[in-house]
Chain A
C-alpha cells in the first residue's frame, strides 16, 4: 500500500510540475519538453490505475508521435521569447481567476458531493483488466462503430493538414527554401 501512495505522489508531483512548466516557461520549446515530462508522469498514474494498455499508448502515441510533431513545428516556426502578459487589459488576472474558480468548483464537487458514497477503493477487478486483450475485445465488440469513426477522423485530419499547409503556386512564402527555377507568379491565384 505505501508503495502505491508513494508512487501516486511521485506521479502527481511530476504531472503538476509538467503542467506548471507548460504554462509558465517562456520558450515554447521548453514548454513542449515540460509537456513530455507531464505525459510520462501521467503514464505512471495510468499504470497505478491498472490501465496498462493506455499507459503504453500514451507513451508511444502521445509522447512519441504527437510531441515529436510539436517539436518539428516549433523548430520550423520558432516563436521567440515573448512577454507572458497579455495586452488586453485584465485578461491575465481574469483568466487566472476563472481557472482557479473552475478548479475550486470541481474539487468541491468531487470531495463534497455524493462521490464519498462510492466505494473509493475501486471494485474488485480481475487480472485481465486493462490488458490489450480486453481493450481489443471492447473495441471490436461493443465499440466497433466509434472505432471505425475514429479511424475516419484520423483520415480527415491527415487530409486537412495537407490542405492547410500545402504551398500554393505563386504565393510568397515566409522563410521558404528558394524555389529552384523561379515560377512566374500567376495572376489571380492565391
Chain B
C-alpha cells in the first residue's frame, strides 16, 4: 500500500474508536471500552509503522507524498482539500503520538477502572489522538488549524473530566481560553501567508516563500511571530504558560498524554514544519528562542519549590519544551525533535509512576505528606527513578543524548545562541536537582502511614477529597471513582510503564554522535532546504557537549542527594533564610496575579457593567420596559372607555350620533 493509504488508516482507526465507544456506552461491560480504545490506537500505531516502512522504501527525494480525499473549497483563489502529507516529519510525529498514546491507553485501562466516566474517558482520549494525528498529518494550514482546534477542545474535555469539581472546570476553561489566544494568532498568520503566497497548502507556502519574502521582511516576521504565539499557547511557554500547572486537575493519564507527550509538542511540530519561514525571519526566530530559554529557566526555578507532585512534573514539562523550542527555533531541528521523542518517553513514564504513587496515597498529591515508598512500591520506584535519570540527562539514558545535542548545536552557533546555551546548561543543573528532589522526597526517608500500610499489604483508602482545596466530594459521576490502582497490582500498568522505561533507557541509540545517525538521516529530506544543513557541529564538539552535560547532571544529583538525604533540614533552613525569594518562586513569579490584574479583572468589571448597566438598566429597563410601558399606558387609556356606567355608554352613543350628524351636515353644504 502507498504511504498515504496508511496515512488515511492512521486517522481512520481513532476516529472509529471515537464514534464506536460512545455509541455503546450503556452496553460495554467492565473494561471493554478501554480495550476498544486501546485496540484502535494499536491499529493506528501499526499503520504508522506501515507508513514508515513504505516511506523508507522510497528514495529520499521522493519521501514527501500528499493525498487528497476531496476538495473542501475550490473558490476565488482559495483551494483547500482534505489532504494529508506523509513525509518523514509527519511519520515521525505519528509514530511518537500513536506509540506513546497506545501505552497510555493501556495504562489507563487499569488506572481509570472504577471511575463512573470510564467510557467517556476513552471516547475523549480517542478523539484526542485522532485530532493530534490530524494535526500532524495535515498537508495544508487549514487542516492544521482544524486539528489544532480539535486538540484544544479535547484538552478542555479531558482537563475538566471530573467536571463536578470546581477547580477542574475552572482549569479547563483557563486552558481553553489561553489556547484560543494561540488559535487566533495561528489563524491571522495563515491569513498573512495566504495574502502573500496565495496558497494555503504547505507545498504552495514553502515553495513560494523564498521568492515572495525577502529576509526579515515585515510580513514574514509578523507571520512567524503570530505562529509563535500559536505555538507557545499550545505548548505552554512564556507568556501563555499559566494554564499548564492548573491542567493537572485532570486524571493522571491525561496529564501523561496531553501535557507531556503530545499536545504540548504540537507547538514544537509547528515551528519545525514552518522552519523555512522562520529561517527567512531570523528576528522572529531569535525572539522565539529567547522566550524559550526564559521559559526553560523560569519553569525550572518554579519546580524547585512547588510541593504538588504532578505540578513539579508539569513545570518540568514546560522547561523541557523550552529546550525543544530552543532547538527548533535556532536551527537544531534534529536535536529538538529527538528531544521531543525521548521526552515523550520519560515524561509519560514519570507521570504514570506519579499516578501510581498518588493512588497509593489515596488521592493526595502533596509531597510533604509522602515519603519512604521505596520498599512498599518497588516497581514504581524503579520506573520513577529511570524517568528521573533520563530527565536529568544522566548517561547513557536517552535524555542525555537528546538534551545535550540541542545545547551542543547552540554552542556551535555561538554569539547570542551561546548565551542561550549557557542558560540551557543552568536549567539542566536545576532539572537534575529537582528531578531527584522528587525521587528523594517521595521514595526515601521514613515511610509515611500510607507506605507503611502498603508494606503490610493494605492499600490506603482515604476520604475522597479535592487535593487542591481539601473539600469533601462523593465518588459518583463527575468525580474520581472510589478505588485507586497502583502499578504493583495491575498488569496493564506494569506493561505500559515497563515499555516506556525500556524506551527511556535505550531510546538514545538512534542518534549517538559519530556512531549512529539513523534519526538525522531519516529526517534529512524534510530539513534539506534549511540553511543550517551544512553547519552542524563536529562529532568531537558534540561529545564535549555531552560530557559537560553529564557532569552537570551528576552535579545536580549530588547536590540533591546532599540536601535531602545527608543533611535533611537544609532545605527548610534555606527557605527560612530567603522567604521572599521562596514566595516569589512558589507563586510562579506572580504571573497568575499579573494576568488576573491585567486581563481578568478588567474583563470581569466590563462584564458586570454590561450585565447590570447595559443589559438590566438600559436594555431591559429603558428599551424593553419603555416600549411595554408605552403600550400599557395606551391600553390603560383605551380601557378607560369601559367604565361600566350605563350613562357613559349612552353618552358615547349620543356623541357618535352628533358626530355623524355633523359630518352629514358638512357634506351637504
Chain A positions within 8 Å of B, measured between CB atoms, are 86, 88, 91, 94-95, 98-99, 101-102, 105-106, 108-109, 113
- On chain B, the residues within 8 Å of A91 by CB distance are 645, 647-648, 651
> Is B27 engaged at the interface, CB distance under 8 Å to the other chain?
no
Question: Considering the chains assembled together, what is the distance between the CA atoms of A98 and B655 in angstroms?
Answer: 6
Q: Shortest distance in angstroms between B538's beta carbon and chain A's nearest beta carbon?
A: 111
| Given A86-B647, A91-B647; A109-B665 close (CB under 8 Å) | yes
> Is B76 engaged at the interface, CB distance under 8 Å to the other chain?
no
Q: Which of B647, B657, B658, B668 contacts A88 (CB 8 A)?
A: B647
Q: Is the CB of B661 within 8 A of A106?
A: yes
Q: Is the CB of B657 within 8 A of A102?
A: yes
Tally of chain B residues near chain A (CB < 8 A): 14
Closest to B658 in A: A101
Q: Shortest distance in angstroms between B639's beta carbon and chain A's nearest beta carbon?
A: 16
Q: Is the CB of A102 within 8 A of B668?
A: no
Q: Which of A99, A106, A108 contacts B654 (CB 8 A)?
A: A99
Q: Is the CB of B647 within 8 A of A95?
A: yes
Q: Is the CB of B661 within 8 A of A98?
A: no
Q: Which of B645, B651, B668 contacts A98 (CB 8 A)?
A: B651
- On chain B, the residues within 8 Å of A88 by CB distance are 643, 645, 647-648
Q: How many CB-defined contacts (below 8 Å) exist between A and B?
A: 36
| Given A88-B647, A95-B647; A108-B665 close (CB under 8 Å) | yes
Q: Is the CB of A95 within 8 A of B661?
A: no
Closest to A114 in B: B668
Question: Considering the chains assembled together, what is the distance between the CA atoms of A68 and B662 in angstroms?
Answer: 39
Question: Considering the chains assembled together, what is the distance between the CA atoms of A86 and B648 in angstroms?
Answer: 10
Question: Considering the chains assembled together, what is the distance between the CA atoms of A24 and B468 in angstroms?
Answer: 93
Q: Shortest distance in angstroms between B667's beta carbon and chain A's nearest beta carbon?
A: 11
Q: Shortest distance in angstroms between B145's beta carbon and chain A's nearest beta carbon?
A: 75
Q: Is the CB of B654 within 8 A of A98?
A: yes
Q: Is the CB of B654 within 8 A of A95?
A: yes
Q: Shortest distance in angstroms between A114's beta carbon and chain B's nearest beta carbon?
A: 8
- On chain B, the residues within 8 Å of A99 by CB distance are 654
Q: Shortest distance in angstroms between B354's beta carbon and chain A's nearest beta carbon?
A: 84
- On chain A, the residues within 8 Å of B654 by CB distance are 95, 98-99, 102
Main secondary structure of the interface of A (DSSP, over half): helix
- On chain B, the residues within 8 Å of A86 by CB distance are 647
Chain B positions within 8 Å of A, measured between CB atoms, are 643, 645, 647-648, 651, 654-655, 657-658, 661-662, 664-665, 668
Q: Is the CB of B661 within 8 A of A102?
A: yes
Closest to B656 in A: A98
Q: Which of B651, B655, B658 contacts A105 (CB 8 A)?
A: B658
- On chain A, the residues within 8 Å of B657 by CB distance are 102
- On chain A, the residues within 8 Å of B645 by CB distance are 88, 91
Question: Considering the chains assembled together, what is the distance between the CA atoms of A95 and B654 in angstroms?
Answer: 8
Question: Considering the chains assembled together, what is the distance between the CA atoms of A62 and B665 in angstroms?
Answer: 34
- On chain B, the residues within 8 Å of A95 by CB distance are 647, 651, 654
Can you name 28 A-B pairs with beta carbons within 8 Å? A88-B643, A88-B645, A88-B647, A88-B648, A91-B645, A91-B647, A91-B648, A91-B651, A94-B651, A94-B655, A95-B647, A95-B651, A95-B654, A98-B651, A98-B654, A98-B655, A98-B658, A99-B654, A101-B662, A102-B657, A102-B658, A102-B661, A105-B658, A105-B661, A105-B662, A105-B665, A109-B661, A109-B664
Closest to A102 in B: B658
Question: Considering the chains assembled together, what is the distance between the CA atoms of A114 and B643 in angstroms?
Answer: 41
- On chain A, the residues within 8 Å of B664 by CB distance are 109
Question: Considering the chains assembled together, what is the distance between the CA atoms of A47 and B661 in angstroms?
Answer: 31
Closest to B652 in A: A98
Question: Considering the chains assembled together, what is the distance between the CA atoms of A38 and B119 in angstroms?
Answer: 101
Question: Considering the chains assembled together, what is the distance between the CA atoms of A108 and B662 in angstroms?
Answer: 10
Question: Considering the chains assembled together, what is the distance between the CA atoms of A22 and B596 in angstroms?
Answer: 88
Question: Considering the chains assembled together, what is the distance between the CA atoms of A98 and B643 in angstroms?
Answer: 19
Question: Considering the chains assembled together, what is the distance between the CA atoms of A86 and B647 in angstroms?
Answer: 9
Q: Shortest distance in angstroms between A40's beta carbon and chain B's nearest beta carbon?
A: 28
- On chain B, the residues within 8 Å of A108 by CB distance are 665
- On chain B, the residues within 8 Å of A106 by CB distance are 661
Closest to B663 in A: A105
Question: Considering the chains assembled together, what is the distance between the CA atoms of A127 and B648 in angstroms?
Answer: 48
- On chain A, the residues within 8 Å of B651 by CB distance are 91, 94-95, 98
Question: Considering the chains assembled together, what is the distance between the CA atoms of A95 and B655 in angstroms?
Answer: 9
Question: Considering the chains assembled together, what is the distance between the CA atoms of A99 and B654 in angstroms?
Answer: 7
Question: Considering the chains assembled together, what is the distance between the CA atoms of A84 and B651 in angstroms?
Answer: 16
- On chain A, the residues within 8 Å of B665 by CB distance are 105, 108-109
Question: Considering the chains assembled together, what is the distance between the CA atoms of A98 and B648 in angstroms?
Answer: 12
Q: Shortest distance in angstroms between B547's beta carbon and chain A's nearest beta carbon?
A: 109
Closest to A105 in B: B661
Closest to A101 in B: B658
Question: Considering the chains assembled together, what is the distance between the CA atoms of A105 and B665 in angstroms?
Answer: 8
